[in-house]
Amino acid sequence: MYRPIRPVHQELRALAAISNREAIKNMTNDVQTDSNIPTLNRLQFFRNKKLLIGTGAFLIIFVFTISLLLPSSNPKQDNSSQNSESFFGPNQNSGGSVEPTNSPGLNKAIDEAEKTADEYGKSQEEVGYDYPWLRKLPLVNEKFYVYYDVEQRIFIADLFLDPTDNAEQVKSDIQKQILDITKVPTENFQFQWNIKQK
């Protein structure tokens, strides 16, 4: 017997219609009895509901907290508070900010720190006047490190020499570099030579 060939899309529609009917029939069977809903689905439903309620409560609390922490953009000024002493006491000025009060011990410590800073600044100025070339030091090389100690008033040179290096030659090179860079006659200063073998 001869059967005409239907296009593929018509056959797919027919199959989809049949599967839709079966799916609708299965859904109506599931809705008819409450015992058909598995226990796992009920727990997921309640978890989702609790999650939704918890998230909503968190957002409300978060927005409320932020609104309390942020200052309002239009602060209201009360004219009566300008004429009388404020709630927080006499240390509050008319602008609303509180003037800090320091204890006597803290004031004494602040004064001592200021004196120490002034003395240090003066001593650094004196060092700058007495030793203007000091900013050009230390001299650093792979064989030596040379700096000037202001308190001892000597040049300290750490020499890192190989066994084949001539120590006296390196010392004279250092003195020549100090003279060239700082324009200080090295004959007027003492040197402390610390020789260390590599």
**Regarding predicted confidence, which is higher, 86 or 113?**
113
Mean pLDDT of the chain: 74
* 3 state SS for 94-121: CCCCECCCCCHHHHHHHHHHHHHHHHHH
**pTM (two decimals):** 0.41
The model's pLDDT over 42-66, given as tens digits with 9 standing for 90+, comes to 556 556 777 778 888 888 998 888 8
Residue 130's nearest CA partner among 157, 153, 155 is: 153
Cα torsion for 82, 86, 92, 96, to the nearest 10°? -60
Is pLDDT above 80 for 196?
Answer: yes
- For residue 93, what pLDDT is reported? 53
Please say if the pLDDT value at position 125 is more than 70: yes
- The pLDDT of 158-180, averaged and rounded, is 89
> What integer pLDDT is reported at residue 19 of this predicted model?
63
φ/ψ of 4, rounded to 5, equals: -70, 145
Bridge partners (DSSP) listed for residue 156 = 147, 192
- Could you give the CA distance from residue 129 to residue 49 in angstroms, rounded to a whole number? 79
Question: How many other C-beta atoms can be found within 10 angstroms of the C-beta atom of residue 60?
Answer: 10
Beta strands 190-197 and 154-161 are parallel
pLDDT reported for residue 81: 46
For the chain, what are the domain ranges? 8-62, 130-197
